Structure 1
């Protein structure tokens, strides 16, 4: 198969889907890889690094037109729509429910879209979200350290246990990979850390991995409001169902918080778990609502691009290799967990959440694969 690795064009997106070691693996299996010039530069990988691994360096148009599978990090942007064509395989983070215009372009072009974020493992978890979620969680606490400084608009609080000074409180909503990443750093700095979740089994598992300055609370309205009054930093790590109209933290709730407190929204969904959240960029990362600083950058891992690219490539390669070795249809039939990631197939939408949110026609997976040869 011919694999194309384009340069990411999202603002301040420095990650790359395939590192040179990834390219070498494809080439060793007899596949051909086109890499757009300077695609890996933001992660510290030169074109020469890719050439030595066996890649063909080319311009963006050549990469897209030559490839049978496009291997990316972020969603497709309007300036890339012209490259979409029938039967092209797109393997990347798609987030179709959040990007209606992109979804329509994918359907109209009849590409085969497989989204990292929806691929599952045998435990119902998301292995291609995991490495980026951990980085996003850790990056969220580092953002709090930065914006807590008075020189960056904060109250001048160092989120650390200092003798003679009241220890800060960090509240984390969600005990998944992002929440654990944030808790690991926040706790190691000596803060009073509170984690809210609804899954007792997951909390018990997490408790064994974190120190005693982490408190686990069942996530209900009473506990949440109590935490809002006490917390210096609120970190939201909940993936909110895009079809929901309610919130966990409402705009009115912000009045309960300490003046100058910080909200770091890792999920950063518009009208999501935090009503006042909306996506921001690394160029313009913060804003204030009700006197509360909000940091809602939607690609936190890009700030740690080399680490992120290596981690993401390691996680996605087995699935990308399966598609390349077997062909897309055979890989989807053989791997029911990869099938979960199928967003669209030759003009048909297969992701229920997107269909519900945007009132689009849904085609079930079974309907799609029954016609596979």
Structure 2
């Protein structure tokens, strides 16, 4: 199979879908890998390292035109729509729920698109969110340390323990990988940290890995409101169900917060858990709503591109190999966890959450004959 790895064009996106080590594995399995010149530049991977791994360095048009499997990091952007076509498989973070225009382009092209973020494992977890989640949680807290400074219009706090003055308070929504990452770093700097979650089991799993300056509370309205009232920083680390139209933190609840407080939305679900969240970029990362400073950059790990690329490429490689070795149809048919990541196929929307959120017709992958029938052919 011909696998194309383009240079990402999203604002300040420095990650690459593959490393020389993962390219070498793809080549060893008999696949032809086209890497766009400069694709690894943001992660300090020069073209010649990809070449030594067996890749062909190509121009952008050639990578998109000749590949059968498009292997990316971020969603398809408007300049890339023209390359979408029937017979192409797109494998990347898509977040189609938040990108109606992109979803239109995917459906109109007839391509097959598989989203990293929706692939599951045997436990129901999302293994391709995991490697970026802890990074995003820690990175989100590092960004909080920056944007809470007076230089950026923040509350002028140093998020660490300083002798003789009040210790800053950090509230974290979610005890998953991102929440744990944020809490671990915030606590290590001496802040008073509170984690809110609805899963007692999840809180128990992180309790013994965190120091004594971390409090774990069940997430109910009373506890959440108390945290909003006293916290200097609120870090949201939960993915809000795509079909829900309500919010955990409403616009009205922001009025409980200190005027100097900062919200960091690591999950960055537009109008999701936090009603006032809207995606921003590294170029223009902050804004105010109800007087509260918000940081809602949706690709935080890109700021730590070398670490993020190595982690993401290792996590996605087994799935890329399945798609390339078996062909996408057979791979999707045989692996229900990979199939859960299917966003669309030959003009049919297959992701229920996006269908409900955008008011579109959809079909479950299992209801599409060539994805459910053992006799269906491989492509």
> TM-score of the superposition, structure 1-length normalised?
0.98
- 2:232 is aligned to 232
- 1:83 is aligned to 83
SS at match of 1:74: coil
Please show how residues 264-343 of structure 1 align to structure 2 within 5 Å: 264-343=264-343
1:264 Cα deviation after fit: 0.5
SS at match of 2:210: coil
Please show how residues 39-58 of structure 1 align to structure 2 within 5 Å: 39-58=39-58
Please show how residues 171-186 of structure 1 align to structure 2 within 5 Å: 171-186=171-186
Asked if 1:351 is matched to 2:328, the reply is: no
- 2:192 is aligned to 192
Asked if 1:370 is matched to 2:369, the reply is: no
Q: Deviations over 1:186-221 (max 9, x none)?
A: 011111100111011111111121111111111111
- 2:219 is aligned to 219
Unaligned runs of 5+ in 1: none
CA–CA separation in structure 2 for the residues paired with 1:268 and 1:366: 30
Q: Deviations over 1:131-190 (max 9, x none)?
A: 111111001110111112222322221111122111111000111111111011001111
CA–CA separation in structure 2 for the residues paired with 1:370 and 1:250: 41
CA–CA separation in structure 1 for the residues paired with 2:289 and 2:339: 41
CA–CA separation in structure 1 for the residues paired with 2:291 and 2:349: 42
Asked if 1:250 is matched to 2:250, the reply is: yes
SS at match of 1:144: helix
SS at match of 1:308: helix
CA–CA separation in structure 2 for the residues paired with 1:112 and 1:320: 14
CA–CA separation in structure 1 for the residues paired with 2:284 and 2:372: 47
Q: Deviations over 1:31-84 (max 9, x none)?
A: 110001101100101111111111111111100111110000001011111101
Q: Is the 8 A contact 2:333 2:372 kept in 1?
A: no
Aligned length: 373
Please show how residues 47-126 of structure 1 align to structure 2 within 5 Å: 47-126=47-126
- 1:19 is aligned to 19
CA–CA separation in structure 2 for the residues paired with 1:231 and 1:155: 12
Unaligned runs of 5+ in 2: none
- 2:154 is aligned to 154
CA RMSD of aligned residues (A): 1.0
1:370 Cα deviation after fit: 2.9
Between stretches 309-318 and 204-213, larger displacement belongs to: 204-213
Between stretches 237-246 and 130-139, larger displacement belongs to: 237-246
CA–CA separation in structure 2 for the residues paired with 1:89 and 1:198: 37
Q: Deviations over 1:88-127 (max 9, x none)?
A: 0100011111111111111111111111000001110001
CA–CA separation in structure 1 for the residues paired with 2:157 and 2:136: 22
- 2:36 is aligned to 36
SS at match of 1:344: strand
1:242 Cα deviation after fit: 2.7
Q: Deviations over 1:264-297 (max 9, x none)?
A: 0112222211111111110011111222111111
